[in-house]
Amino acid sequence: MKRFLKIITFGLGRIVKWGCVAHMLFEHVADVVILSGPSMEPTIVSNDVVIAEKISQKFKMLKKGDIVIAKSPRRPDQFICKRIIAAEGSSDCKSWVPRGHVWLEGDNRSNSIDSRVYGPVPQGLIIGRVAVKVWPLGSAGFFNRQTSNV
């Protein structure tokens, strides 16, 4: 019985340890995201799987042209995927962007609800920068700033 308890305790310890490591990675480093909706077509289409890194947001390294995942300013229970068109202090988007905000637009401007509708977005709503498309494999690759394609 003691041996059985020792094996169970050891196994549970490993599960908890690796669970904590996974939690830290997904919370602070990167997350895997399945995207849906037409607003970023043709760059990203529904059911594409991407990796969103969170380091750029934490260290305030986001730039114009980055594709980001953010909480929706209208519905905080939903997430949006858009491109940064203008950063704070800029008026590139026909509207001045206040400090601590960014202007987000979808690449498919004719089918995107974005900053043109809800205005500048607080940077605090940004979860991470889309860095890599991993699925489908045929279009997998890294995203570059200020480009519309992978």
Going by their DSSP bridges, the two strands 49-53 and 30-34 should be labelled as: antiparallel
Instruction: Please state the CATH superfamily assignment of the domain spanning residues 31-142 in this structure.
Output: Umud Fragment, subunit A (2.10.109.10)
Active site (catalytic) residues: 39, 82
DSSP 8-class letter at 1: -
Determine the Cα–Cα distance for residues 54 and 51; give it in Å rounded to an integer.
10
Of 69, 59, 45, 85, nearest to 131 by C-alpha is: 69
- For tokens 């305030």, the residue is 60
What is the residue-level pLDDT of the chain in tens, covering all 150 positions? 778 777 888 788 888 888 888 888 888 888 888 999 989 988 889 999 999 999 888 888 888 999 999 999 988 899 999 999 988 877 766 778 889 999 999 999 899 989 999 989 999 999 999 999 998 888 887 887 654 444
Measured CA to CA, the distance from residue 87 to residue 126 in angstroms comes to 13
* Domain layout of the chain by residue ranges: 31-142
Distance CA 87, CA 64 (A): 6
Q: Which residues contact 88 (CB under 8 A, 6 or more apart)?
A: 97, 98, 99, 100, 101, 102, 123
Q: How far apart are CA 30 and CA 50, in angstroms?
A: 10
pTM over 0.85: no
* Contact call for residues 69 and 79 (beta carbons, < 8 A): yes
